[in-house]
Amino acid sequence: MPSVLVTGCAGFIGSHVCQRLLADGYRVVGLDNFDPFYDRTLKLANMADFAQHPRFSFHEVELQRGAESLADALPADPIDLVVHLAAKAGVGPSVRQPIAYLENNVIGTTHLLEWMRQRGISKLFFASSSSVYGNTPERPFREDMPLLQACISPYAASKLAGEQLTATYHHLYQLDVINARFFTVYGPRQRPDLAIHKFVRLLRAGQPIPVFGDGTTARDYTYVADTVDGIARGVQYLLTHTDVYQTINLGNNNPVTLLDLIQAIGTAVGVTPELQFQPMQAGDVDVTYADISKAHQLLGYAPQTSLADGLAQFVAWERAHAAVAE
């Protein structure tokens, strides 16, 4: 069975990807730098279910330090494909720390690509973001839309730059690539700074929910198992096809307004939300809305989880997690 390198393996999506690939029979090599954006213990907990798996190995690596750091950590590991999830995430923090985002997401990705070129690894699944669409007025968002001036945050710009880099390496070095634009992924292990996780904690504590803007902004919320299924399908596609360069949306094709999301979370938690309206945050887009027809045609991607079911699963996980922490 092929060997897959997963960068960002201790993160929210990365840990689920590792579990899925191991369940599918792959050998998985995980990389993470335990960026202090949130607590290291949470990331270690993310890996708890598979850290001792006989087909999993782990290396702590800083990609932005150079291709040499990868060469030192992985001198001889056989790698057939890379799933590149490692990145500094979040729109708001990128507005406050743009250089850190470019160093991690652009320079770090370039170092990874150079290491792959030097090692002769020719398959890459790259995690991009719906943020690259910015406030593009035409909806739903299609992968062939022109985006050079669409980005409205450093995070979005760093992800679009990553796509440009993968295009360059495909052209110059015949790298097979799938760029996947993720749309507001949620579910168990979600980062504690993200809205759904934060809102559930606030409701359980009896505190008001901050609403940035008038509550009509909307996101295409996608349950993590559906996103991971798209990634696993992309891995299989890359391993069985050559001369690949594709960009796909991994979303849910169903935008939900912020006010509707808060009401749905309130229902899942069993609490009536108290709202506290605040100004819009810099860099936030109005709507994300994925056209997923290309991913369906290419990979058979078809999200299965409704928002109500996904929120119920997240709330159950959060309650269990909070009980252990207490």
Say if CB 115 and CB 75 are below 8 A apart: no
Q: Whose CA is closest to 283, among 173, 163, 157? A: 157
Detail the DSSP E strand segments found in the chain: 3-7, 27-32, 56-60, 81-84, 123-129, 176-182, 185-186, 209-212, 218-219, 222-223, 245-250, 256-257, 275-278
Say if CB 218 and CB 289 are below 8 A apart: yes
- Catalytic one of 26, 101, 133, 155: 155
Q: CA angle 230-200-279, nearest 5°?
A: 95
CA–CA separation, 79 and 7 (whole Å): 12
Other C-beta atoms within 10 Å of 264: how many?
Answer: 19
155 part of the active site: yes
Catalytic residues: 155
